Amino acid sequence: MVLKRQILAIQDVYVPVKRRQTLDPHKVEAMAESIMDKGQDAPILVRPDGHRFVLVEGLHRLEACKALGETTVPAYLVQARKHRSM
């Protein structure tokens, strides 16, 4: 399966609360500096969910793009199962 790289509006990417809790501001800052120097190499991973996209992988990359004032982010669409809470 080949993943197709797309450019998404950051506002259309939803970050689940549990994933948001793993955010490390120091990693975001370092990632933002790296993106400014070299550009963003690895797209984030998202799964479609109605009219939005749910973040699967790449929280720090997404937050670094926000910190840099970006309005879009490169992403790969993946088919991922929804996590069920027990």
Domains of the chain listed by start with CATH number:
5-77 (3.90.1530.10)
Three-class secondary structure of residue 47 per DSSP: strand
* Model confidence, pTM: 0.85
Contact 63, 26 (CB under 8 A): no
Give me the tens of pLDDT residue by residue for the chain, a chain 86 residues long.
567 789 999 999 999 998 888 899 999 999 999 999 998 889 999 999 988 999 999 999 999 999 999 999 999 999 866 554 43
Q: Decide if 13 contacts 73 (C-beta within 8 A).
A: yes
